[in-house]
Structure 1
Amino acid sequence: MDIKIEKRSNHRFKSWQLIVGVSAVLALCGFVFTRDNTVQVSSSEIWLGEVKQGELQQSVGGFGRLKSQDTRLLTAYSAATVEEIVLKPGALVTPDSVIAVLVDPAITQSVKAAERALIQAQNQLLQLQINQQRELLEQQSALEVMRSNQESAELEVSAQEQLAEQGVVSQLEFKRSLLAHRQLTRQLAFEVERIAQLSELHAANLVIAQSSIDAQQEALDLVKETESRLVVRAGIAGVLQSLSIELGQSVISGQQLALVGSMDSLYAILDIPQSSMQYVEVGQQVEIDTRNGAMSGQVARVEPLINNGTIQVEVTLTSELTDNARPELNIAGTIYTQTLENALYIQKPLNVANNSTNSLYRVDDDSNLAHATTLKFGIETKDSIQIVSGASVSQRFILSDMSQWEEHDTIAITQ
């Protein structure tokens, strides 16, 4: 009779294989899990920042230009044609600097006509004076003759008066002589009055003739002023900011030709983002960067209108101008809006805005791991941003753009 023998050793071997297999599967699952949630990032590819505590000065930044407080807009005084352009924008000018030369033949003709009219009026005055002098001399000559006749009649009356008393001359003859004397005396008085009135009349005619000369002189001065305006001069010392004409261009009266600005008295205009306008107030301190130095200033005016998502802020400069400061120079400005004491802050991370909540990777000093941590941010400065909650002093965070790893809670930092 056959006896069946059980192979217990083979059964034990299979059980051991099952245990080893399950362990391997679990180990593989653990490896896969770790690989899914922890990625490796080289330290050379990231940028770290440390949380600090202290005074934090909030600022608002913007770009703009320097403007001249003393500007001169040059316009065409009359219709003309651009004959020559002497200076171009950016040129330094003095009050007598010639910027452009215009030409208008009609104005030249008008100047000559006005000069002729003035000479004619002056000649008329001279002729009037000659005629008046001649007339006055004739009247004075007649007056002298009449005065001589009157004196002769007076002598005759005096002589006949004694002879009439002696009866040598008849009373009739004496009375005739006396009548002739009285008539000559009245005529003499009338002629004297006439000469006096003639002198007044002559003076009035001279005034009229002189007023005509003055009118012609004013007309000549006006047309010469128009002619002189054909030579476009700067008028003030500074820089030629813009030129609105071209060679050969025809311009009309009042048309803009050029803009000149002083370099001694400047102010700044900054374009500030609309999102920061609530922080800006008149009187706040400003730092202006001209890329060749810095200047201090103060907010003087905030434009209430919004243009293309920005507002304009006018800044009065309170310090000395930099060497390169000039009108229309591109600048960068920082407005210091408020100061926080004992605030937590960190160097501004990429893609983080003020008053927002974002996740940054906090570096574990005891390992090479960095863990995603939610931070609440407050105000920002030019280079830093306030941390309202989620961090403490001396903690380090990755400030680089980590958006490609945002699905991972933990990352490993390799050397």
Structure 2
Amino acid sequence: MDTIIARKNKKNIYLLLAIPVFLGVAYLLYSAATHKASLTVNKNEITIKEVEQTYFEDFIVVQAKVEPLNSMLLNVVEGGSIKEIFAANGDFVTEGQPLARLYNPNTELNYMTQETSIIEQINNLDKAKLDLRNQELNMAKDLVAIDHDYQDAKNLYDLNEKLYKQEILSKNEWEKTQENFRFQKERKNIIQQSMQKEKQANRIQIGQIGQSQATMMKSLEILRGNKQNFLVTAPLSGRLTSFEPVLGKNYLAGESIGKIDVMKGYKLVAEVDEYYLSRVTKGQKGKVDFKGEEIEVEVARVIPEIKNGRFTAELNFISKKELALQQGLSFGVRLTLSEKAQTVVVPKGRFTEESGGKYVFVVNGTTAERRQVKLGRENPVYHEVLSGLKPGDRVITSTYADYKDVEVLNLE
């Protein structure tokens, strides 16, 4: 008799085979998702520093040069070529001392033409003034003659009046005498009034002419003074610097050929990174080391113009002590940006070049793991830690250039 054999369920077999495969794939995916990229580095090739809780002083160190407290630019007033040089760069000069002479034939010819024209105008005004005075003189002469005629007519009038009353003179002759006296009298009055008005008008004209002449004389004086501008003189006493004129070289009007430093006090001029523009203000204190002694300085002026990523700050010495300074000396100025305060800090290093201060590698035994952090202010020694680190943490502060995509460093 035949034996009945039961058929195996293929679906169950496939299911049993699929489960291990599924679990294996899931494990691989989980491992890939949770695996941290690692790199083995030599411990001697890195720098490890410890996070501290200490007093943090927000300051920067900038290089500053000594410059005189006050200086004046030496500008060419009249353009021309250098003809003579009377002083040298670095000389002490006194106010009014000749320094150089320029030559410009076209300008000098123009000056001569203007001078001739002004003198001619002054002479013409003198002639006009003389004509007015001659006119007054002629009128005075006329008035003398008219007054003489008036006196003759008056004398005749007085005589004929007596004769007429004595009936010696005819009525016709008396009327002629009266008419002539009346004419001479009115004539004299009219001429006197006319002469008075003419004199008043002439005085006004002469006054105006005098004002015009005074203006022209002043212009002539200025013009002649401008001719002296070819001679460059020291506007004040001090040390002549940046003075390097070249014989024959042409300079434009207003162009600077040097500077005079008033040797009465000094200041420091520093070039500061534009990053600190909003944090450097007038009145901030700083210190410089001068011959082993700390000297206090103070920001006197901030010039916000940015050039090549830097701005200029001027600092004055607070100390009243006489310092043996020289122009051009360079100092490292420690400029305080805020008062000391206790906080968590991490020593500075090259790690921020790649991380931007957003993460660090924290050492734990033989490994170092990447950790997100937030850094705040900085000074030449420390970064202020706002979050992510605590005192005692050990941090790699050397460059992270080779660890950009690494999560864990194996230290050996």
Instruction: Name the TM-score class by shorter chain.
Output: 0.5 to 0.7
* 2:269 paired residue number: 268
Cα distance in structure 1, aligned partners of 2:282 and 2:86: 43
Cα distance in structure 1, aligned partners of 2:257 and 2:303: 30
**1:175 is matched by which residue type in structure 2?**
E
| CA distances 1:165-219 after superposition (whole Å, capped 9, x unpaired) | 3321110011111111111111111221232233234334434543553343243
TM-score (norm 2): 0.62
Q: Quote the RMSD (CA, aligned, Å).
A: 5.0
Structure 1 unaligned regions, length at least 5: 1-36, 40-48, 361-370, 393-398, 401-406, 411-415
Secondary structure, in 3 states, of the residue corresponding to 2:169? Answer: coil
* 1:232 paired residue number: 232
The answer as to whether partners of 1:284 and 1:335 remain within 8 angstroms in 2 is: no
Segment drifting more, 164-173 vs 137-146: 137-146
* 2:284 paired residue number: 285
The answer as to whether partners of 1:114 and 1:219 remain within 8 angstroms in 2 is: no
Task: Indicate whether 1:61 and 2:61 are aligned.
Answer: yes
Cα distance in structure 2, aligned partners of 1:300 and 1:130: 63
Cα distance in structure 2, aligned partners of 1:314 and 1:129: 63
1:345 positional shift = 8.0
* 2:324 paired residue number: 323
Inter-CA distance 130–136: structure 2 relative to 1 (3 Å threshold): same
The answer as to whether partners of 2:289 and 2:295 remain within 8 angstroms in 1 is: yes
Cα distance in structure 1, aligned partners of 2:139 and 2:105: 51
Inter-CA distance 90–53: structure 2 relative to 1 (3 Å threshold): farther
Structure 2 unaligned regions, length at least 5: 1-41, 399-408
**1:160 is matched by which residue type in structure 2?**
N
Cα distance in structure 1, aligned partners of 2:91 and 2:345: 47
Cα distance in structure 2, aligned partners of 1:148 and 1:125: 35
1:317 positional shift = 2.3
The answer as to whether partners of 1:55 and 1:339 remain within 8 angstroms in 2 is: no
Inter-CA distance 278–148: structure 2 relative to 1 (3 Å threshold): closer
Inter-CA distance 92–334: structure 2 relative to 1 (3 Å threshold): farther
| CA distances 1:25-76 after superposition (whole Å, capped 9, x unpaired) | xxxxxxxxxxxx999xxxxxxxxx9999864423211224456675544433
Cα distance in structure 1, aligned partners of 2:183 and 2:220: 55
Alignment of 1:59-138 (within 5 A): 59-66=59-66, 71-117=71-117, 119-121=119-121, 123-124=123-124, 127-128=127-128, 130-138=130-138
Cα distance in structure 1, aligned partners of 2:158 and 2:233: 84
Task: Indicate whether 1:334 and 2:300 are aligned.
Answer: no
Inter-CA distance 283–71: structure 2 relative to 1 (3 Å threshold): closer
Secondary structure, in 3 states, of the residue corresponding to 2:176? Answer: helix
* 1:242 paired residue number: 242
1:131 positional shift = 4.8
**2:284 is matched by which residue type in structure 1?**
Q
Inter-CA distance 185–144: structure 2 relative to 1 (3 Å threshold): same
Cα distance in structure 2, aligned partners of 1:105 and 1:147: 63
**1:174 is matched by which residue type in structure 2?**
W
Question: How many residue pairs are counted as aligned between the two chains?
Answer: 348
TM-score (norm 1): 0.62
1:294 positional shift = 3.5
Task: Indicate whether 1:314 and 2:313 are aligned.
Answer: yes
| CA distances 1:257-286 after superposition (whole Å, capped 9, x unpaired) | 334455547453332374xx3993435734
**1:285 is matched by which residue type in structure 2?**
Q
The answer as to whether partners of 2:143 and 2:192 remain within 8 angstroms in 1 is: yes
| CA distances 1:75-97 after superposition (whole Å, capped 9, x unpaired) | 33333111233445544555434
Segment drifting more, 254-263 vs 377-386: 377-386
1:147 positional shift = 1.6
* 1:198 paired residue number: 198
The answer as to whether partners of 1:114 and 1:216 remain within 8 angstroms in 2 is: no
Secondary structure, in 3 states, of the residue corresponding to 2:247? Answer: coil
The answer as to whether partners of 1:299 and 1:313 remain within 8 angstroms in 2 is: no
The answer as to whether partners of 2:348 and 2:380 remain within 8 angstroms in 1 is: no
1:389 positional shift = 6.5
The answer as to whether partners of 1:290 and 1:325 remain within 8 angstroms in 2 is: no
Cα distance in structure 1, aligned partners of 2:262 and 2:150: 81
